[in-house]
Amino acid sequence: MATFSTPEQVRDFKTYKAGMKTALARLHGDTATKYVYFHQFKFDDKTRALLLVDFEPALPKTLGSAISEGKCKMDEHDRFVFEGSKGEVNVDKVASLFADIGIARAVARPGEGAPTASAKPVAEKLDMKYGWTEIRTWGADAAELIERFDGLLGLYKGLPEIPPDAKDLHDRHESIKTKMADLAKTRISNTDADRGNALKAVNSLREAVEALNNDARRPKPAPKSTTVPVEPASTTARREPEPGPAKTEPASSKPQPKPELTAELIKEIVRSTRPVGKDDADKYTERLKRKLPSEYSGITDKHYEAIKKLAEVTYFKASKAEPEPVVAKGDDGPTPLTDTQARNIDAAIQAAIRVSGQNDTIDNDAQVALGDAITHAIGGSNPTHSRGGGHRGSFNKDVTIQQALSNIGRILNPKTRASINAHLQGSGSPYNV
C-alpha cells in the first residue's frame, strides 16, 4: 500500500512529515521512485513547496496542478537527485522543505559534481546530556530540536565550494562551521531553557546557511574591460565593416514565476519566522527585506509596514507606554518573578507557539506540556495542578494558546497569577494567565 493515499495525509504536516521520512528512507543504491512536485501547497500550518513520493496515482490530481514530475533517487554521494520528465524542481525550496521535515541529507542540483569541502560539517549530531532513546521520550520539544538540527545538516551539506579568496563568504562559512561544532558539543538537558536556547541557535544557523548558499551561488559580475582596442594606422581608405549575422541571445530555461506576496502569506511568514538574538521590530523587518524579494514578487513598502506591525503585535512591545501595574486583590502588589522563572515561562509559551496550528490553537499534548512547564517554572510539584484538574487525554478539542493559559490561570494562587501577568505585561506579551 502506498504511503500517501488521501489529501488529509498530505495537508496535515505532522502526518506528511512522518510519511516522507518513511518513504525517502526506502531510497538506496540505484532505487528510483516516482515523484510529483508543487511549487506551493497550503499545509495545515503554513504554505510550503510540496514533494510527494510513494503515492496513489490518483492523489496528485486532488491536490492541484503539479509543476514537475519524474523520478528521484540517491546518488553515489548520498544526495537526493531529481530526473524530471516534466518541468523542473526548485532545488532550494525542496532543500528547505527537507530541513523542515528533519532530513540530514543534501539535495543535489542537476549535473552537480561531488560534495565540496565546504559542505562537510564538523559534527553530525547534537551531543546532548542523555541518550537518544531517552530524548525521544521527552516529547514534542525535544523531537523538534533534533529534527531542526538534522534539517540544518542537510542544508549545510548542500553548500557549494567556497574558495578562500572569496573573503567575505569564506569568513561567514568559517563562522558557521565553528558555531555548528560548538552547538554539537553543547550539553543539553531536558529543561525549557536548555532546549529553547539550543533551538534558537539552530534556527539562527539555518538562516545563516541559507543566506550563504544563496550568496555563494549568485553569478559573479563580468569583469569590466580596462583596455581600449586601437586600430592600426592605414594609408588606405577606411572600410566599413560588412554586416554580419544578427546576434541571438543564448536560449535559457524560463524561470518559474514568483508568487505575489499576499496578506495571508504575510501572516504565515511572520508566524513561521521567529525573532533571533536581540531583534526588535525594525531589525526583524530588515532581515525579511533581505530574504523575501528572492521568493515573492510585487513587494512594496506597504508589505514591509504590514510585516513590522504584525511582528510588533506578535513578538515585540508595540508601544513604549508604561504598562498598567497588575495588583493582586488584598495585597500591595505581586512579587516579581525571578529571572529563571521568567525565562522558563517565556520558553513554555514560545514552545506552545512553535507547535500551534491554525489560529494559534494547540492540541491536548501541547496544552498539558504548557501547563506542566508553567507549574514547574513557579515551583509546583504536582503537574495536574497546571491542567485545571484535567489529565492527559481529557482535553477533547484544540483551544487557542490564550484559552489554555486562562485555564491554567484559574487554578493558580492569585498572587502567583498576578506575578506571572505582571511579567507578561511588562515584557509586551499579548498573553496572560
pLDDT tens-digit map of 112-126: 888 888 888 777 777
Residue 17's contacts (CB-CB under 8 Å, 6 or more residues apart) are: 100, 101, 102
Residue with cell 491536548: 364
Rounded Cα distance, 34 and 332, in Å:
68
* DSSP state letters, 346-410: HHHHHHHHHH--GGGEE-HHHHHHHHHHHHHHTT-S-GGGGGTT--TT---S-EEHHHHHHHHHH
How many other C-beta atoms are found inside a 10 Å radius of the C-beta of residue 10? 24
The continuous run of DSSP H or E covering 411 comes out as none
Nearest CA-CA partner of 16 in 95, 142, 100: 100
Residues in the chain predicted with pLDDT less than 70, given as ranges, are 127-141, 220-256, 277, 317-333, 357-359, 380-396
Phi-psi domain of 334 (left: phi exceeds 0; alpha: psi -120 through 50; beta: other): beta
pLDDT given at position 391: 42
Residue 56: per-residue pLDDT: 93
> What is the rounded CA–CA span in Å between residue 30 and residue 76?
9
Q: For residue 410, which amino acid is it?
A: R
> Which residues face 71 on adjacent strands?
34, 83
- Boundaries of every domain in the chain: 1-114, 115-217, 263-314, 339-426
Amino acid making up residue 171? D
Give the tens place of pLDDT for each residue, 177-186. 888 888 777 7
Q: Hey, which residues does 107 pair with through a beta bridge?
A: 80
Do residues 53 and 72 touch, judged by C-beta distance below 8 A? yes
What is the greatest pairwise CA distance in the chain? 109
- Give pLDDT tens digits for 188-222: 777 777 778 888 888 888 888 888 888 888 776 65
The Cα–Cα gap between 360 and 356 comes to 5
- How much is the pLDDT for 322? 38
Please provide the distance, in angstroms rounded to a whole number, between the alpha carbons at the two ends of the chain: 47
Q: Rounded CA gap, 209 and 152, in Å?
A: 8
- Using the 8-state DSSP alphabet, how is residue 412 labeled? S
CB under 8 A, 24+ apart: contacts of 14-18:
16/43, 17/100, 17/101, 17/102
Which residues contact residue 182 at a Cβ distance below 8 angstroms, ignoring those fewer than 6 apart?
none
Compute how many other C-beta atoms are within 10 angstroms of the C-beta atom of residue 58: 8
